[in-house]
């Protein structure tokens, strides 16, 4: 469920009309619904075993206003860079609720996280383990650490967002888990606290989760027998969302929570989770204006002012996003097929192919739905296109939470060396 709906013939975010926001913020712009963020967080939180840490995946949506909205609900953060760590702290997320993941943590990032006092590091390799031990030692600290174990489970999702098979760069092979934990225990400044597992993103079937979590539960017993203190399980994120109206709905969070409780029962571990898409995807839309309707040889192209630099998921993952007219179409009105494209000079700048939509003309507004996760965070200024504005709505209130970048902002990023100066 989300809080984007038609009211008096116009698509609204909660109680705010998107056409009025377009006048104020310009197009394209991202719009996020506070009520949807809050609802999705609560539904997921209520489904999990009591006391679980929900560490929102900052890579899904790093806007400070979004992070602060979730922080006020009690969310922690899963970060994968020093920049995301800074954002999480700036948004008011306590360091004690921050998990640092990722395969390429630098020594500087480790130092910043240790000095902040984060909840734990999810370590993905032996070289990283050695580096973390060295940095922690230089500070006279012990780093709370889990090892990310790759259970070699196929998540049955897109190849570019699966992370739990043996062919990916993520994690430590399950077959070497006990060996690497023994290695970790020999480091004076590493405090082993648990196990981490994350098999991928946009997973719509509970079976891969259960298979992975069952393997990890068995590993807890083995590692404890080896003398390790395993008190935490980080079970990652990955629960999918419905991008298409025609799709069967993904697993209900309640069913997911019951499966987790069953598999982890009796282990006595505190649990943490790293949802991102589940909370943010359907809490955001990308609003764009039609520039031209172009009749091609075999297709009709709807050319809009948002491009793949604003939302790269369709180009990168062949991802589907529903598209809605901001002005509600009349019941039974024609729905011609369009290729919905942006202005970027790439054939891959395509949001939808042969998509039935209401008849649209130059100047009309459309909303690309389910764009709250992996939208603005993956944007670029390719073709020297300034970053889109971001807007947060709460009931009848709204605010621009990231101003539109100007051409002057773009130019200011570059520097002319002395020998080229006039």
Residue 299, classed as helix, strand or coil, is coil
Is the distance from CB of 136 to CB of 143 less than 8 angstroms? yes
Least confident of 151-160, 240-249, 253-262: 151-160
Number of H helices, E strands in the chain: 12, 21
**Catalytic annotation on 86?**
no
> Tell me, what's the pLDDT at 127?
95
Classify strands 389-394 and 29-33 as parallel, antiparallel or unpaired: parallel
Q: Which residue has the higher pLDDT, 352 or 162?
A: 352
| Rounded CA separation 21/291 (Å) | 18
CATH 2.40.37.10 boundaries in the chain: 4-31+281-412
Q: Which CATH number fits domain 102-273: 3.90.400.10, 3.20.20.10, 2.60.40.420, 3.40.50.700?
A: 3.20.20.10
239 DSSP 8-state letter: B
pLDDT band at 40 (very low <50, low <70, confident <90, very high): very high
| pLDDT one-digit tens code per residue, 390-406 | 999 999 999 999 999 99
- Residue 246: pLDDT over 70: no
Mean pLDDT value across the chain = 94
Q: Provide CATH 3.20.20.10 ranges for the chain.
A: 102-273
The catalytic residue among 12, 31, 269, 345 is 345
383's tokens? 């073709």
- What class, spelled out in words, does domain 4-31+281-412 have in CATH? mainly beta
pLDDT for the residue numbered 160: 44
Q: Name the one residue in this structure whose structure tokens are 């860079």.
A: 81
Phi, psi values for residue 49, rounded to 5°? -55, 140
Reading the block at residue 225, the tokens are 């027998």
pLDDT at 281: 96
């Amino acid at each position: 469920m989300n809080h984007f709906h038609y009211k008096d013939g116009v698509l609204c975010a909660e109680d705010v009309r998107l056409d009025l926001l377009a006048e104020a913020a310009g197009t394209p712009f991202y719009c996020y619904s506070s009520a949807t963020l809050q609802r999705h967080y609560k539904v997921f939180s209520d489904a999990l075993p009591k006391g679980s840490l929900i560490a929102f995946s900052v890579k899904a949506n790093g806007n400070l206003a979004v992070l602060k909205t979730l922080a006020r609900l009690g969310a922690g953060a899963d970060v994968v860079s020093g920049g995301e760590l800074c954002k999480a702290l700036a948004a008011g997320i306590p360091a004690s609720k921050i998990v640092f993941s990722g395969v390429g943590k630098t020594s500087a990032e480790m130092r910043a996280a240790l000095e902040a006092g984060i909840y734990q590091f999810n370590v993905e390799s032996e070289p990283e383990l050695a580096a973390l031990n060295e940095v922690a030692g230089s500070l006279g600290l012990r780093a709370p650490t889990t090892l990310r174990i790759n259970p070699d489970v196929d998540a049955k999702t897109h190849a570019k967002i699966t992370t739990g098979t043996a062919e990916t760069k993520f994690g430590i092979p399950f077959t070497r888990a006990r060996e690497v934990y023994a290695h970790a225990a020999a480091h004076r400044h590493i405090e082993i606290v648990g196990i981490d597992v994350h098999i991928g993103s946009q997973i719509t079937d509970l079976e891969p989760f259960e298979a992975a979590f069952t393997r990890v539960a068995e590993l807890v017993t083995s590692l404890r027998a080896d003398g390790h203190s395993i008190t935490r399980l980080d079970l990652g994120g990955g629960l999918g969302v419905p991008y298409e109206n025609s799709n069967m709905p993904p697993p209900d969070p309640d069913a997911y929570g019951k499966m987790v409780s069953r598999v982890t029962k009796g282990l006595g571990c505190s649990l943490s989770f790293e949802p991102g898409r589940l909370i943010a995807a359907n809490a955001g839309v990308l609003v764009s204006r039609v520039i031209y309707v172009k009749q091609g040889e075999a297709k009709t192209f709807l050319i809009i002012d948002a491009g793949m630099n604003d939302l790269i998921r369709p180009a990168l993952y062949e991802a589907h996003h529903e598209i809605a007219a901001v002005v509600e179409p009349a019941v039974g009105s024609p729905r011609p097929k369009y290729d919905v494209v942006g202005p970027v000079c790439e054939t891959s700048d395509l949001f939808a192919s042969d998509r039935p939509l209401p008849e649209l003309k130059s100047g009309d507004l459309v909303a690309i739905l389910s764009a709250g996760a992996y939208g603005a965070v993956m944007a670029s200024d390719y073709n020297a296109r300034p970053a889109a504005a971001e807007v947060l709505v709460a009931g009848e209130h709204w605010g621009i939470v990231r101003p539109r970048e100007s051409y002057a902002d773009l130019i200011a990023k570059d520097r002319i060396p002395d020998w080229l100066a006039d």
